[in-house]
Structure 1
C-alpha cells in the first residue's frame, strides 16, 4: 500500500468515525478490523498519530456500547416516560 493510499484510507476512516455510533447497522468490529488492516510499519509519524486518534475514538465507541443505557427517570407521578 502506497503512502497516498494509506492517507486516503485514513482520511476515509476519519470521516466515517465522525458519523458512526455503537448502534449503527455496520458493527464496530468491522471498523476495528478495517483499522487493523492498515500497516503498522513504514508509516510516517503523522500517519501513526492519526491512527492513534482513530484507535482512541473507536475504543471510546466500543466502551460506550458495552455500558448499559441509563434507566429513564421516573416522573413525579410515579410513572415511566
Structure 2
C-alpha cells in the first residue's frame, strides 16, 4: 500500500494511502500556521493481476475507453439518425 507522508521537519505528522488525503491534511495544518509539507510515496505500483470471470473462465474484457463507456450507443442517442 502507498504511504504518502505529511512531515514537520523530520517528524511524520500524518501518513495516508491516498495523496489527496495527505495534501488535504497538510493544507489544514498550514491554515493553522504549522509549516508542514507532503512527501509523496515514489515506490512503483504493483502490477494488477488479471481478473477471471467465474462463469466463463475467461478474463474480463477491458472497456474500450477510459470512462467505461464502449462504442455502443444508448437507445436515447439522437445523433444516430
Q: Flag the structure with higher helix content.
A: 1
Scaled by the length of structure 1, the TM-score of the pair is 0.26
Relative contact order (alpha carbons < 8 A, sep ≥ 6): 1 or 2 greater?
Answer: 1
| Higher strand residue share | 2
**TM-score using structure 2 length:** 0.26
